[in-house]
Structure 1
């Protein structure tokens, strides 16, 4: 049963249903424009733990359990978890969901990981490799700053192009039937490198990949931007959004009416001083589970293109002078 479409896409003959979405975020995210949408808001950035890394693991574990419970399932019914985060060797995921005792595929797509997790989860369910799967990602401001930039105690200044890593986790349970929204297609992204090396301007590094994936999705499905109620990128922020508009215009498409960016939506920059917006694996995941999915379930949006974006750098590659390639994974989600 061939479900491939065009050069890089898949069109599922039977859409894979999203049975639940769950999100838990930190205090700063809870004070933002989407604060009323999240399932839980943690007042303690350490989530009762001794380290930032343990805090993120706890955040992901609790979000996973919440998503499974909202789907009215028991953990033993989940065939596979597709999980990832930003930390080296994905330790937030491995230590976080270890106690659930569910088979796991660990993923790394930087901030695009939720798109990767939903894509692989949907393929697994569609292919008959599991009745229920869980797709989940997380990020934490403290652990990400420690991993990629400076210790928080250093108090370094951030340029206006910088984004603020979201403390949050988002999870979705996928199954063959039962949800009010379903994944009907996806476009797998390519690694795109324009040679940019500024790790504090992730939007500029990721925008070319977002453009490439969105354009290929439109080509593969023979669609125009107007065929989507929203085209939603993960965390380009204000700088990356402007670049994306210019790159899409060069390809003959104007997506300004449809475009939305999770990194712009999750914070109020004027009030919260987050500069270009939010970022991190948890940015698109928490926004999708708390804000985007309910609009699809209610039928306010009939079809959206969800395009989490990621910057594929590590502290090793950055310190060795390498550029920062980008990737974007697109998921077509429709009301049903």
Structure 2
């Protein structure tokens, strides 16, 4: 069976499963609408560490440990880790995960990294290259502000279009189709397909308006997924973007309507779900690698496990800038990666 469909997608002949996941967030996220759904909320945003970067590493380490525990697995049961973050040279991932002593692929897709890591992890187990793998991403408000904008002590003013980088991490244990019957925890969420995104550049140069920079990439990805899988928006219970916020959501809906697709009834955004701006003063919403990862784990996967959602398209978005490119006057291109997840009934013995 040819698993390649359309121009940019794969439909897995034997779909891999998400065995378990874990979400860990900071104090601000723990005060938001999803507070009761996260696995762990930090008592403070340092997570017992001395620096913000070490704090983010601790997030990843704890998220992977918790996800492995839920799956009743040990580090030696995992063949590969697919991991990434927003910091230079992926230092949150490398320093946070090295003690697991597991072969690792370091990834960078900006805030779309959760979609990228899940896509590559699913491809790996679906092809038979590994029985069990882990996908994990993270972000931290303070480390991201320090690297991309200003140190917190500067107390700069934020425009209303700005999103708030989520302090959080999400980790996911994946297993191949053939492993389902041998697991101590029977999974019910399968990754049935993926759509790999392209870099889309509309010439946006405002680093404080990530939603506008990333929305065109999300529109391109969603349109391509619908065409490749020959589906309509209503074939998905939810079409979930990662970090567009209120500004990017409006642009996304408009761009897709211009192309003949109305997703307004299906669309939700993790950055809008994770905060309540009227109470928390977070501007346009949440962003960062940890935003979509923690929200997917805490909220959407749990809804799928309860059978409330049968099929979703998860497509986090990333703004591909660095301090170098921004200071040299380059625009902010975007990218999005799509992961199709479907509910599968658990077998009753």
Residue of structure 1 equivalent to 2:322? 314
The match for 1:8 is 8
Q: What residue is the counterpart of 1:141 in the other structure?
A: 141
1:334 is paired with a residue of what secondary structure? Answer: strand
TM-aligned CA deviation for residue 2 of structure 1 = 2.7
Q: Which runs of 5+ in 2 are unaligned?
A: 181-185, 345-349
* TM-score of the superposed pair, with normalisation by structure 2: 0.96
2: CA distance, partners of 1:109 / 1:210: 13
Q: Structure 1-normalised TM-score?
A: 0.99
Q: What is the CA distance between 1:298 and its match in structure 2?
A: 1.2
Question: Match for residue 199 of structure 1?
Answer: 207
Unmatched 5+ stretches in structure 1: none
Query: d(CA) in 2 for partners of 1:273 and 1:48?
Result: 26
SS in 2 for 1:157: coil
Q: Could you say which residue in structure 2 is the equivalent of 1:255?
A: 263
1:36 is paired with a residue whose SS is coil
1:78 aligns with 2:86: no
Aligned length in residues: 336
Take 1:37 and 1:321, find their aligned partners in 2: how far apart are those partners? 41
What are the equivalent positions in structure 2 for 1:158-177 lying under 5 Å apart? 158-176=158-176, 177=180
CA RMSD of aligned residues (A): 0.6
Correspondences of 1:41-56 after superposition (within 5 Å): 41-56=41-56
Which whole-Å CA distance do the structure 2 matches of 1:87 and 1:197 have between them? 21
Once the two structures are superposed, residues 210-229 of structure 1 have per-residue CA deviations (whole angstroms, 9 ceiling, x without a partner) of 00000000000000000000
Structure 2 SS opposite 1:13: coil
Establish whether residue 327 from structure 1 lines up as the match of residue 335 from structure 2: yes
Return the alpha-carbon distance in structure 1 between the equivalents of residues 160 and 217 of structure 2.
22
The structural deviation recorded for 1:144 is: 0.2
Residue 298 of structure 2 corresponds to residue 275 of structure 1: no
- Residue of 285, 289, 296 corresponding to 2:297: 289
In 2, Cα distance between equivalents of 1:251 and 1:72: 46
- The yes-or-no answer on 1:224 pairing with 2:235 is no
Distance in 1 separating the partners of 2:106 and 2:2: 26
Q: Distance in 1 between matches of 2:111 and 2:290?
A: 8
The match for 2:183 is none
Deviates more, 1:36-45 or 1:175-184: 175-184
Q: Deviations over 1:116-165 (max 9, x none)?
A: 00000000000001000000000000000001000000000000000000
How far apart are the structure 1 equivalents of 2:43 and 2:208? 27
Structure 1 partner of 2:30: 30
> Any idea what the Cα deviations from partners look like across 1:258-281, whole Å, max 9, x if unmatched?
000000000000000001000000
- Structure 2: how far apart are the matches of 1:267 and 1:73? 32
**What CA distance in whole angstroms lies between the structure 1 residues aligned with 2:2 and 2:148?**
41
Distance (whole Å) between structure 2 residues aligned to residue 171 and residue 288 of structure 1:
10
1:81-125 deviation digits (Å, cap 9, x = unpaired): 000000000000000001010000000000000000000000000
Matched, 1:237 2:245: yes
In structure 2, what is the Cα distance between the partners aligned to 1:2 and 1:335?
23
Distance, in Å, in 1 between the alignment partners of 2:234 and 2:255 is 18
- d(CA) in 2 for partners of 1:236 and 1:21? 23
CA distance, structure 1, for counterparts of residue 134 and residue 102 of structure 2: 10
